[in-house]
Amino acid sequence: MQIERHTGFNGLRKALSMNPDELIELIRNSGLTGRGGAHFPTWKKLSLARSSQGEKIVVCDAEESEPGTFKDRFILEKNPLIVVEGIAIASHIIEARQAIIYLRGEYSFLEEGIRKAIEEYNKLFGDINIHLIISGGGYICGEETAILNSLEGKRPNPRNKPPFPVEKGYMDKPTLVNNVETLAMLPLIILGDYDPDLRLFSISGNVEKPGVYEARLGITLGELIARAKPIGNPRAVLLGASGGVLRYDPNLVLTMDNIERLGGMLGMNTLIIINDEQDLLQVFKHIAEFFVHESCGLCTPCREGNPRIVDIMEKIIDGTATSRDISLLERLAKYIADTSMCGLGKASTKWLLTALKYFPEVFSNAKSNN
Amino acid sequence: MKFILEDLWQIEKRFGYLPRRELESLAEKHGKPLAEIFSVASFYSLFSVDNPPKHFIGVCTCPSCIANGALEILHAFEEELGVSINSDEGDIRLLKLQCQGRCDKAPVVVIDGVYYEKVRLENIEKLIEKCR
């Protein structure tokens, strides 16, 4: 896997000998976009942060909490050095002297490995002060502005954008927030060792060999899942909790555009395989519960709407739902997506919209009267 | 750079929860009202602002864990322990957990902060013994 390569800080050495504008151009040509799911062009974020004035900060977002996603954990386990190297390169580009790794609390077992990597960096370079902060746990803490509030000691609610973090971030200073995987790609790009089509897929669910798989975008779902050895007959593929749910189709070509056309989102390359022996209604109800638990509570539609979705899912399970409930489900799903402020709220009903479209039979338990 | 999160972790690790008197001194240290500190501390799922029960048992109920039998495991805990989910009675609190990022080792159970992966129904009794 390209992510496991031992770059030995050679990417950083080369970067330090280059002009930041040249580096930004190199990253632009690589086509790298944010691997945290939003896919914002990395060069653009770097360039905006570079042109902002004042003391700057780099934040490495390691609050990976999307259900079914564990590729950042994998990277930090296998190669924390490349992440630290990426942070140092980004800091060099935007001229930051302070960097923060914001690690999800559930991953605190990675703390030792990351601290060792920081020590290694400090021994050889040390011009940037890299802090490691362990989060207190919460899906929303992975949102780039919620991280900033969390680091400032505030409740980690997301902020309105603009201003964007690259202009006004941590303590109002220009802040570059990038995902673990995005930063880990920087040394590879600089060393000319980066393959733009390779992605890390987190595969789990009803497969014999769950894990992180490296594959090229454009691979078919069937070909990729064959490597993880499916158990039974795959029925559904969940693209995390926020990426939607599709019918399992072995011929489905995995590209972002393709998945988006179907109403899903391949943001973090998460694939949870659910076979035909599972109770999909229970799976769905628990995704709804996930969003109830993880809503920060700031926007009313997300805070109040998601619990209503759980209520209706429970009624469907009990057999007491009516067709009116089902149409309310659809309206709630659209309304929450349209009126929530942050990405979590907006994506919190993608599973429901796609489930209603591709698995109508799951919801057909509702009585036709109202 | 100073981070309130680091202070909160220190208190949580020392006491096993965040006692009110500690949050009061933290509020004083950072020059913030207690309500603000409390609102921050109570937000995070890994901190407890109440005096916790003797034992926590959490079962992850995200899709990968459910596909690998998490709900059966959760119900087995309910039956064996005679407690209901999220109940505050007795020494043991049984909880549904959200994704723990170990979906490749599903299903995941967390007991008093210790992770148990690829848990099978037949392991339940042994796990319960850890709480006795």
Cβ-defined contact of A136 to B61 (cutoff 8 Å): no
Structure tokens at A82: 């490349």
Name the residue type at position A205: G
Q: Is A208 on the interface with B (CB under 8 A)?
A: no
Q: Are B111 and B104 in contact (CB under 8 A)?
A: no
Tell me the per-residue pLDDT of A188-222, one tens digit each, with 9 for 90 and over: 999 999 999 999 999 999 999 999 999 999 999 99
pLDDT the model gives residue A166? 98
3 state DSSP class of A306: helix
Q: Average pLDDT over chain A, rounded to whole? A: 96
Helix axes A111-124, A80-94, angle to 10 degrees: 50
- Give the chain A residue whose CA is nearest to the CA of B47: A136
Domain ranges within chain B, ordered by starting residue: 4-41, 55-129
Cβ-defined contact of A133 to B98 (cutoff 8 Å): no
pLDDT the model gives residue B95? 94
Residues 6+ apart with CB under 8 A from A349: A291, A305, A306, A309, A332, A333, A334, A336, A337
How many helical (H) and strand (E) elements, i.e. helices and strands, does chain B have?
6, 4
Name the residue among B3, B62, B67 with its Cβ closest to that of A278: B67
Q: How many CB pairs below 8 A link A and B?
A: 135
pLDDT the model gives residue A175? 98
pLDDT the model gives residue B51? 85
**Sequence-distant contacts of A167-175: CB under 8 A, at least 24 apart:** A167/A48, A167/A52, A169/A57, A169/A59, A170/A57, A170/A59, A170/A100, A173/A54, A173/A55, A173/A56, A173/A57, A174/A49, A174/A52, A174/A53, A174/A54, A174/A56, A174/A57, A174/A94, A175/A49, A175/A56, A175/A57, A175/A58, A175/A59, A175/A148
Handedness of CA A211, A276, B70, A343 (dihedral sign): positive
Cβ-defined contact of A272 to B67 (cutoff 8 Å): yes
> Residues of chain B whose pLDDT is less than 70?
none
Burial environment of residue A129 by CB neighbours within 10 A (0 to 12, 13 to 18, 19 or more): middle
CATH entry, A198-275, from 3.40.30.10, 1.10.10.10, 3.90.550.10, 3.10.20.600: 3.10.20.600
Tell me the per-residue pLDDT of B7-21, one tens digit each, with 9 for 90 and over: 999 999 999 999 999
Q: Is A132 on the interface with B (CB under 8 A)?
A: no
Cβ-defined contact of A137 to B46 (cutoff 8 Å): yes
Structure tokens at A207: 């497969």
Cβ-defined contact of A138 to B3 (cutoff 8 Å): no
Q: Is A364 on the interface with B (CB under 8 A)?
A: no
Name the residue among A70, A98, A294 with its Cβ closest to that of B1: A98
**Please, what CATH class does the domain formed by A2-190 belong to?**
alpha beta
Contacts of A64 in chain B (CB under 8 A): 101
Which of A262, A260, A310 is closest to A290 using CA atoms?
A: A310
Q: Could you give the CA distance from residue A270 to residue A117 in angstroms, rounded to a whole number? A: 27
Tell me if the domain spanning A280-363 has CATH number 1.20.1440.230. yes
Contacts of B45 in chain A (CB under 8 A): 136-138, 293
Q: Is A131 on the interface with B (CB under 8 A)?
A: yes
Domain ranges within chain A, ordered by starting residue: 2-190, 198-275, 280-363
Interface ipTM: 0.96
Tens of each residue's pLDDT in chain A, 370 residues: 999 999 999 999 999 999 999 999 999 999 999 999 999 999 999 999 999 999 999 999 999 999 999 999 999 999 999 999 999 999 999 999 999 999 999 999 999 999 999 999 999 999 999 999 999 999 999 999 999 999 999 999 999 999 999 999 999 999 999 999 999 999 999 999 999 999 999 999 999 999 999 999 999 999 999 999 999 999 999 999 999 999 999 999 999 999 999 999 999 999 999 999 999 999 999 999 999 999 999 999 999 999 999 999 999 999 999 999 999 999 999 999 999 999 999 999 999 999 999 999 999 876 665 4
What's the gap in Å between the CA of B43 and the closest CA on chain A?
A: 7
Contacts of B102 in chain A (CB under 8 A): 70, 73
Fold topology of B55-129: Glutaredoxin (3.40.30)
pLDDT the model gives residue A370? 45
Tell me the per-residue pLDDT of A317-343, one tens digit each, with 9 for 90 and over: 999 999 999 999 999 999 999 999 999
Residues 6+ apart with CB under 8 A from B40: A153, A154, A155, B4, B8
Cβ-defined contact of B63 to A241 (cutoff 8 Å): yes
Q: Is A242 on the interface with B (CB under 8 A)?
A: no
The chain B residues in contact with chain A (CB within 8 A) are: 1, 3-6, 8-9, 30, 32, 36, 39-41, 43-47, 61-64, 66-68, 71, 96, 98-106
Q: Are A299 and A345 in contact (CB under 8 A)?
A: yes
Q: Is A296 on the interface with B (CB under 8 A)?
A: yes
Please report, rounded to a whole number, the percentage of residues in chain A having pLDDT higher than 90.
98
What's the gap in Å between the CA of B69 and the closest CA on chain A?
A: 9
Q: Is A167 on the interface with B (CB under 8 A)?
A: no
What's the gap in Å between the CA of A136 and the closest CA on chain B?
A: 5
pLDDT the model gives residue A179? 98
Q: Could you give the CA distance from residue A234 to residue A92 in angstroms, rounded to a whole number? A: 47
Contacts of B30 in chain A (CB under 8 A): 153
What's the gap in Å between the CA of A369 and the closest CA on chain B?
A: 32
